[in-house]
């Protein structure tokens, strides 16, 4: 056992790592915790279009500590994405995408986690869940020739219904295990290169991952977990859309259909483009643009102040787009979203040439 764990616990790590290098480990721990919480919820949940919403109510009101597990799992996704965005932001800021394969696997994990979170959002079968599923799955119609057939296959019928819910549950249950496999590959590739550091140097002084950094990761996780529990117990339902407390009704459309906050930046880009095909392509590009950073010239390890300024402007634009994703599609929000979307892509292009 010691020989098996030695490549992990005995990994030499640069001594000058700062707090930003802990977000990857913390996100991995949160992933495992989410899977465990999901297991305890799934044994009580009924995945049928006529029973799913009532089973969520039963878990919340009639099951011992069911409200806590349901609330922690639903809101845990928000914290998981928050930590993941910090992890991705650190990678961009310190130009860690020079480890090509590690970066590609990381982006793939991010994309699959988006799918898992979206599918999980549909399972409670609330009003916003149903219509979000209807809107997002309809985007598949842009696929040439077979788009409408793909939609019917995903739905399992001529509209979002019970077959859709069953298929989404199967995917939501299985995809996290694929994510775990990809995370292990991500770690193995990272350990084959060893971790980088804030200065981009190759220092001679290195420490063993265990105890130094393993204990540091664990302490940060405990701190974040405490804040997470405190926030959830005090403001548990703040990030759950009020429409999702109403059972799904195909005959009534919500006034504003919107995803969770961690998808709002992409949603703002999607709905501010009048053409459907162009909007979907822009939506995909807003996520896959991370892969374009691999085109950057990485001969120089150090980064300039201009690159730093560009990064913080990008963060500001991302936050503005997240806010605009919740705003109604009317002036001046439409025009501001279009301008912010253009700036968003230009900033990434600028990063490549810096």
Q: How far is CA 347 from CA 269, 311, 354, in A?
A: 15, 8, 10
Do residues 347 and 314 make contact, with C-beta atoms less than 8 angstroms apart?
yes
Catalytic member of 55, 217, 241, 286 = 217
Assess whether the previous peptide bond of 211 is cis (omega < 30° from 0). Answer: yes
d(CA 160, CA 123): 12
* Residues 237/78, Cβ–Cβ less than 8 Å: no
Which of 195, 286, 337, 341 does the annotation list as catalytic? Answer: 195
HEC string of 191-246 equals HHHCCCCCCCCCCCCEEEHHHHHHHHHHHHHHHHHHHHHHHHHHCCCCCCCHHHHC
66-93 and 305-324 are packed helices; what angle lies between their axes, rounded to 10 degrees?
150
Name the catalytic one among 260, 286, 337, 341.
Answer: 260
The residue annotated as part of the active site, out of 44, 48, 191, 210, is 191
Q: Which of helix, strand or coil describes residue 264? A: helix
- The yes-or-no answer on residue 260 being catalytic is yes
Paired tokens of 152? 């019917």
210 is catalytic: no
Pick the catalytic residue from 44, 206, 210, 216: 216
| 195 classed as catalytic | yes
CB within 8 Å of 215: residues ≥ 6 apart: none
- Enumerate the active-site residues: 191, 195, 216-217, 260
């Amino acid at each position: 056992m010691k020989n098996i764990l030695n490549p992990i616990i005995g990994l030499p790590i640069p001594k000058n790592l700062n707090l930003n290098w802990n977000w990857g480990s913390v996100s991995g721990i949160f992933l495992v915790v989410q899977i465990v919480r999901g297991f305890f919820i799934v044994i009580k949940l009924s995945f049928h279009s006529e029973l799913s919403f009532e089973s969520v109510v039963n878990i919340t009101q009639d099951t011992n500590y069911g409200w806590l597990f349901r609330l922690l799992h639903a809101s845990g996704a928000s914290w998981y994405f928050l930590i993941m965005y910090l992890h991705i932001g650190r990678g961009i800021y310190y130009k860690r995408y020079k480890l090509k394969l590690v970066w590609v696997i990381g982006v793939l994990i991010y994309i699959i986690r988006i799918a898992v979170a979206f599918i999980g959002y549909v399972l409670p079968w609330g009003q916003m869940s149903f219509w979000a599923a209807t809107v997002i799955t309809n985007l598949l119609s842009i696929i040439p020739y077979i788009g409408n057939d793909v939609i019917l296959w995903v739905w399992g019928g001529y509209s979002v219904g019970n077959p859709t819910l069953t298929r989404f549950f199967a995917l939501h249950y299985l995809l996290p295990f694929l994510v775990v496999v990809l995370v292990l590959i991500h770690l193995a590739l990272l350990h084959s290169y060893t971790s980088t550091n804030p200065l981009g140097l190759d220092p001679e002084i290195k420490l063993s991952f265990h105890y130094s950094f393993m204990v540091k990761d664990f302490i940060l996780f405990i701190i974040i977990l405490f804040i997470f529990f405190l926030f959830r117990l005090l403001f548990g339902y703040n990030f759950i859309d009020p429409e999702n407390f109403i059972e799904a009704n195909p005959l009534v459309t919500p006034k504003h259909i919107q995803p969770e906050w961690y998808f709002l930046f992409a949603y703002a880009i999607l709905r501010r483009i009048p053409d459907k095909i162009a909007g979907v392509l822009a939506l995909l590009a807003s996520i896959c643009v991370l892969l374009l950073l691999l085109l950057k010239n990485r001969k120089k390890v150090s980064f300039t102040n201009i690159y730093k300024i560009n990064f913080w402007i990008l963060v500001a634009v991302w936050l503005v787009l997240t806010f605009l994703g919740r705003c109604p599609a009317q002036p001046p929000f439409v025009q501001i979203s279009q301008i912010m979307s253009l700036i968003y892509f230009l900033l990434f292009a600028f990063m490549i040439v810096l």
